[in-house]
Amino acid sequence: MKIENLIGWLKKNPVILVLSVIVVVMSSVVTLFDGATKLYGIYQTTIGHNSELDKKLNSLNVEVDIGYFNSILGMPAIKNQRRINQVYYSFESIENMDDPKQVEEEHLYNEYFYINEDYYVQVVTDEKDKVGMYSITARSANYIPEIKTDRGETIYLGKSTYTELKRKPQKVAGLLGMNLKHFNYYEVYLFDPGNYRYAVYSSSPVGHFENVGDLDWEIGNIFAESFSVDDKDFPMHSKHQAFRKTTTINTYSVTTPWFHGIDLTDEGVNYGGRQINFGPHVDQVSMIK
Protein backbone atom coordinates (compact mmCIF):
# COMPACT_ATOMS: atom_id res chain seq x y z
CA MET A 1 0.00 0.00 0.00
CA LYS A 2 1.36 3.37 -1.00
CA ILE A 3 1.88 5.96 1.72
CA GLU A 4 -0.75 8.26 0.13
CA ASN A 5 -3.33 5.47 0.16
CA LEU A 6 -2.45 4.58 3.79
CA ILE A 7 -2.92 8.19 4.91
CA GLY A 8 -6.23 8.36 3.10
CA TRP A 9 -7.39 5.12 4.65
CA LEU A 10 -6.45 6.32 8.17
CA LYS A 11 -8.38 9.54 7.60
CA LYS A 12 -11.46 7.47 6.83
CA ASN A 13 -10.84 5.32 9.96
CA PRO A 14 -9.89 7.80 12.76
CA VAL A 15 -10.47 5.28 15.55
CA ILE A 16 -7.76 3.01 14.20
CA LEU A 17 -5.48 6.05 13.87
CA VAL A 18 -5.99 6.97 17.53
CA LEU A 19 -5.41 3.39 18.68
CA SER A 20 -2.22 3.20 16.62
CA VAL A 21 -0.91 6.39 18.21
CA ILE A 22 -1.74 5.06 21.70
CA VAL A 23 0.10 1.80 20.99
CA VAL A 24 3.19 3.68 19.80
CA VAL A 25 3.15 6.00 22.83
CA MET A 26 2.64 3.15 25.31
CA SER A 27 5.44 1.18 23.70
CA SER A 28 7.76 4.17 24.08
CA VAL A 29 6.71 4.66 27.72
CA VAL A 30 7.34 0.98 28.51
CA THR A 31 10.75 1.17 26.87
CA LEU A 32 11.65 4.32 28.80
CA PHE A 33 10.36 2.85 32.07
CA ASP A 34 12.31 -0.35 31.51
CA GLY A 35 15.46 1.67 30.81
CA ALA A 36 14.92 3.86 33.87
CA THR A 37 14.36 0.78 36.04
CA LYS A 38 17.61 -0.74 34.84
CA LEU A 39 19.49 2.52 35.45
CA TYR A 40 18.03 2.78 38.96
CA GLY A 41 19.03 -0.81 39.63
CA ILE A 42 22.59 -0.03 38.56
CA TYR A 43 22.57 3.08 40.79
CA GLN A 44 21.33 1.08 43.78
CA THR A 45 24.08 -1.50 43.42
CA THR A 46 26.89 1.02 42.88
CA ILE A 47 26.68 4.70 43.86
CA GLY A 48 23.52 4.36 45.94
CA HIS A 49 24.78 1.23 47.68
CA ASN A 50 28.12 2.83 48.50
CA SER A 51 26.44 6.01 49.72
CA GLU A 52 24.26 4.00 52.09
CA LEU A 53 27.29 2.14 53.44
CA ASP A 54 29.16 5.43 53.94
CA LYS A 55 26.19 6.77 55.90
CA LYS A 56 26.23 3.72 58.18
CA LEU A 57 29.97 3.74 58.82
CA ASN A 58 30.11 7.49 59.45
CA SER A 59 27.38 7.20 62.09
CA LEU A 60 29.53 4.92 64.28
CA ASN A 61 30.92 6.37 67.50
CA VAL A 62 32.58 5.61 70.83
CA GLU A 63 31.03 6.09 74.30
CA VAL A 64 27.84 4.27 73.23
CA ASP A 65 26.41 0.87 74.11
CA ILE A 66 27.15 -2.09 71.84
CA GLY A 67 23.44 -2.20 71.03
CA TYR A 68 23.91 0.98 68.99
CA PHE A 69 26.31 -0.87 66.66
CA ASN A 70 23.93 -3.84 66.47
CA SER A 71 21.09 -1.55 65.38
CA ILE A 72 23.20 -0.20 62.51
CA LEU A 73 25.28 -3.20 61.42
CA GLY A 74 23.27 -6.21 62.59
CA MET A 75 24.56 -8.81 65.01
CA PRO A 76 28.35 -9.36 65.24
CA ALA A 77 29.88 -12.46 63.68
CA ILE A 78 32.43 -12.96 66.46
CA LYS A 79 32.77 -12.01 70.12
CA ASN A 80 35.98 -12.51 72.11
CA GLN A 81 37.00 -11.60 75.63
CA ARG A 82 40.36 -9.84 75.80
CA ARG A 83 42.59 -9.51 78.85
CA ILE A 84 45.15 -6.69 78.63
CA ASN A 85 47.96 -6.17 81.13
CA GLN A 86 49.28 -2.63 81.34
CA VAL A 87 52.59 -1.82 83.04
CA TYR A 88 53.63 1.76 83.73
CA TYR A 89 55.31 4.06 86.26
CA SER A 90 52.93 5.98 88.52
CA PHE A 91 53.19 9.76 88.81
CA GLU A 92 54.33 9.40 92.41
CA SER A 93 57.04 7.01 91.29
CA ILE A 94 58.23 9.41 88.61
CA GLU A 95 58.55 12.19 91.18
CA ASN A 96 60.74 9.92 93.29
CA MET A 97 63.27 8.76 90.71
CA ASP A 98 65.50 7.27 93.42
CA ASP A 99 62.93 4.54 93.92
CA PRO A 100 60.75 4.23 90.80
CA LYS A 101 58.02 1.60 91.02
CA GLN A 102 56.14 -0.02 88.21
CA VAL A 103 52.38 -0.40 88.43
CA GLU A 104 50.63 -3.30 86.71
CA GLU A 105 46.94 -3.20 85.88
CA GLU A 106 44.67 -5.74 84.22
CA HIS A 107 41.83 -4.65 81.96
CA LEU A 108 39.07 -6.88 80.60
CA TYR A 109 37.42 -6.04 77.30
CA ASN A 110 34.90 -7.56 74.92
CA GLU A 111 35.89 -7.54 71.25
CA TYR A 112 33.28 -7.79 68.49
CA PHE A 113 33.59 -8.15 64.72
CA TYR A 114 30.89 -7.15 62.24
CA ILE A 115 31.49 -8.67 58.82
CA ASN A 116 30.34 -7.43 55.45
CA GLU A 117 31.64 -8.47 52.03
CA ASP A 118 32.94 -4.90 51.63
CA TYR A 119 34.27 -4.08 55.13
CA TYR A 120 35.17 -5.24 58.64
CA VAL A 121 34.09 -3.32 61.73
CA GLN A 122 35.86 -4.09 65.01
CA VAL A 123 34.43 -2.88 68.32
CA VAL A 124 36.06 -3.14 71.75
CA THR A 125 33.98 -2.48 74.86
CA ASP A 126 34.40 -2.56 78.61
CA GLU A 127 32.78 -5.32 80.67
CA LYS A 128 29.49 -3.40 80.61
CA ASP A 129 29.62 -3.20 76.79
CA LYS A 130 30.37 0.51 76.57
CA VAL A 131 32.39 1.18 73.40
CA GLY A 132 35.99 2.27 74.02
CA MET A 133 37.34 1.70 70.50
CA TYR A 134 36.10 0.89 67.04
CA SER A 135 37.85 0.28 63.72
CA ILE A 136 36.66 0.29 60.12
CA THR A 137 38.66 -1.72 57.57
CA ALA A 138 38.11 -1.66 53.80
CA ARG A 139 37.79 -5.23 52.57
CA SER A 140 36.95 -5.03 48.86
CA ALA A 141 38.00 -3.05 45.80
CA ASN A 142 34.28 -2.74 45.00
CA TYR A 143 33.74 -0.34 47.89
CA ILE A 144 36.11 2.40 49.08
CA PRO A 145 34.68 3.79 52.37
CA GLU A 146 34.58 7.60 52.45
CA ILE A 147 35.16 8.41 56.12
CA LYS A 148 34.75 11.90 57.55
CA THR A 149 36.95 11.86 60.63
CA ASP A 150 36.58 13.80 63.87
CA ARG A 151 39.83 15.55 62.93
CA GLY A 152 38.06 17.30 60.06
CA GLU A 153 39.58 15.13 57.34
CA THR A 154 38.01 12.96 54.68
CA ILE A 155 39.89 9.75 53.96
CA TYR A 156 39.17 6.98 51.49
CA LEU A 157 40.00 3.64 53.07
CA GLY A 158 41.84 1.48 50.58
CA LYS A 159 42.94 4.51 48.55
CA SER A 160 44.24 7.46 50.65
CA THR A 161 47.93 7.48 51.63
CA TYR A 162 49.67 8.66 54.81
CA THR A 163 51.06 11.84 53.30
CA GLU A 164 47.48 13.04 52.88
CA LEU A 165 47.28 13.33 56.68
CA LYS A 166 48.22 16.94 57.42
CA ARG A 167 49.23 16.73 61.07
CA LYS A 168 52.15 14.94 62.67
CA PRO A 169 51.49 11.66 64.50
CA GLN A 170 52.34 11.06 68.12
CA LYS A 171 53.61 7.60 67.30
CA VAL A 172 54.27 5.26 64.37
CA ALA A 173 54.76 1.52 64.65
CA GLY A 174 54.44 -1.74 62.81
CA LEU A 175 56.00 -4.80 61.30
CA LEU A 176 57.53 -4.70 57.84
CA GLY A 177 57.83 -8.37 56.95
CA MET A 178 59.13 -10.15 53.89
CA ASN A 179 55.67 -10.13 52.27
CA LEU A 180 52.22 -8.63 52.68
CA LYS A 181 51.02 -11.48 54.91
CA HIS A 182 53.53 -10.31 57.53
CA PHE A 183 52.97 -6.60 57.28
CA ASN A 184 51.38 -4.02 59.54
CA TYR A 185 51.86 -0.27 59.90
CA TYR A 186 49.98 2.40 61.83
CA GLU A 187 50.14 6.02 62.95
CA VAL A 188 48.57 7.35 66.17
CA TYR A 189 47.19 10.91 66.29
CA LEU A 190 45.93 12.84 69.30
CA PHE A 191 42.65 14.62 68.55
CA ASP A 192 43.32 17.73 70.64
CA PRO A 193 45.63 18.62 73.54
CA GLY A 194 43.81 17.83 76.77
CA ASN A 195 41.39 15.52 74.98
CA TYR A 196 43.04 12.13 75.06
CA ARG A 197 40.97 10.57 72.33
CA TYR A 198 43.11 9.06 69.63
CA ALA A 199 42.66 8.47 65.93
CA VAL A 200 44.70 5.63 64.45
CA TYR A 201 45.31 5.23 60.72
CA SER A 202 46.70 1.87 59.71
CA SER A 203 47.43 -0.61 56.94
CA SER A 204 46.34 -4.17 57.61
CA PRO A 205 47.27 -7.20 55.48
CA VAL A 206 43.69 -8.51 55.72
CA GLY A 207 42.17 -5.35 54.23
CA HIS A 208 42.08 -3.97 50.70
CA PHE A 209 44.68 -1.43 49.62
CA GLU A 210 45.80 -0.07 46.28
CA ASN A 211 49.49 -0.04 47.07
CA VAL A 212 52.18 -0.71 49.68
CA GLY A 213 55.56 1.02 49.54
CA ASP A 214 58.97 -0.60 49.81
CA LEU A 215 59.41 -2.68 52.96
CA ASP A 216 63.20 -2.67 53.01
CA TRP A 217 63.82 0.11 55.55
CA GLU A 218 62.85 -1.91 58.65
CA ILE A 219 62.65 -5.33 57.05
CA GLY A 220 61.51 -8.13 59.31
CA ASN A 221 61.51 -5.98 62.45
CA ILE A 222 58.76 -4.84 64.76
CA PHE A 223 59.44 -1.16 65.35
CA ALA A 224 57.94 1.80 67.20
CA GLU A 225 58.85 5.47 67.29
CA SER A 226 57.25 8.27 69.32
CA PHE A 227 57.31 11.99 68.52
CA SER A 228 56.72 15.09 70.63
CA VAL A 229 54.67 18.03 69.40
CA ASP A 230 57.75 20.05 68.42
CA ASP A 231 59.81 17.05 67.29
CA LYS A 232 61.33 17.76 63.90
CA ASP A 233 62.57 14.22 63.32
CA PHE A 234 59.42 13.22 61.46
CA PRO A 235 59.32 11.47 59.15
CA MET A 236 62.15 9.31 60.42
CA HIS A 237 64.09 9.40 57.14
CA SER A 238 63.61 9.65 53.38
CA LYS A 239 62.65 5.97 53.00
CA HIS A 240 60.00 6.40 55.66
CA GLN A 241 58.54 9.38 53.82
CA ALA A 242 58.60 7.51 50.50
CA PHE A 243 56.79 4.62 52.21
CA ARG A 244 54.12 6.98 53.60
CA LYS A 245 53.65 8.58 50.19
CA THR A 246 52.94 5.28 48.44
CA THR A 247 51.27 3.16 51.13
CA THR A 248 47.49 3.00 51.34
CA ILE A 249 45.54 3.46 54.58
CA ASN A 250 42.83 0.81 54.82
CA THR A 251 41.82 1.03 58.50
CA TYR A 252 40.57 3.92 60.63
CA SER A 253 40.22 3.58 64.43
CA VAL A 254 38.97 5.83 67.23
CA THR A 255 39.61 5.35 70.97
CA THR A 256 38.32 6.98 74.16
CA PRO A 257 40.48 8.47 76.95
CA TRP A 258 39.61 5.57 79.28
CA PHE A 259 40.51 2.83 76.79
CA HIS A 260 43.78 1.13 77.83
CA GLY A 261 44.10 -1.26 74.91
CA ILE A 262 46.30 1.08 72.87
CA ASP A 263 50.01 0.86 73.71
CA LEU A 264 51.48 4.36 73.76
CA THR A 265 54.84 3.39 75.27
CA ASP A 266 57.96 4.10 73.26
CA GLU A 267 58.58 0.46 72.36
CA GLY A 268 55.13 -1.14 72.55
CA VAL A 269 53.08 -2.08 69.49
CA ASN A 270 49.48 -3.06 68.86
CA TYR A 271 50.24 -6.08 66.75
CA GLY A 272 50.10 -9.82 67.32
CA GLY A 273 47.79 -12.29 68.99
CA ARG A 274 48.04 -10.95 72.55
CA GLN A 275 47.55 -7.28 71.77
CA ILE A 276 44.41 -5.62 70.52
CA ASN A 277 45.04 -4.93 66.85
CA PHE A 278 43.59 -2.10 64.81
CA GLY A 279 41.16 -4.08 62.71
CA PRO A 280 41.14 -7.89 62.58
CA HIS A 281 44.34 -9.89 62.94
CA VAL A 282 45.23 -12.47 60.29
CA ASP A 283 44.34 -15.34 62.64
CA GLN A 284 40.96 -13.78 63.42
CA VAL A 285 40.12 -13.43 59.73
CA SER A 286 40.66 -17.17 59.23
CA MET A 287 37.83 -17.68 61.74
CA ILE A 288 35.58 -15.20 59.95
CA LYS A 289 35.71 -16.49 56.38
Quick check: 119 and 145 in contact, CB under 8 A?
yes
Collapsing DSSP to helix, strand or coil, 52 comes out as: helix
Residue 211 burial (CB count, 10 A): 11
Cα atoms in the Cβ-side hemisphere of radius 13 Å centred on 117: 3
**Which helix (H) or strand (E) segment is 271 a member of?**
none
| pLDDT of the chain, 289 residues: tens digit per residue | 555 555 565 556 666 655 665 666 566 655 555 644 554 444 444 555 699 999 999 999 999 999 999 999 999 999 999 988 877 666 565 566 666 677 778 899 999 999 999 999 999 999 999 999 999 999 999 999 999 998 889 999 999 999 999 888 999 998 877 667 778 899 999 887 777 789 999 999 899 989 888 767 665 678 888 887 676 778 888 888 999 999 999 999 999 999 999 888 887 888 766 689 999 887 766 666 5
Gyration radius from the chain CA atoms? 28
Total H helices, total E strands in the chain:
7, 11
In angstroms, the CA 287 to CA 189 distance is 30
Give the integer Cα–Cα distance in Å for 93 and 106: 19
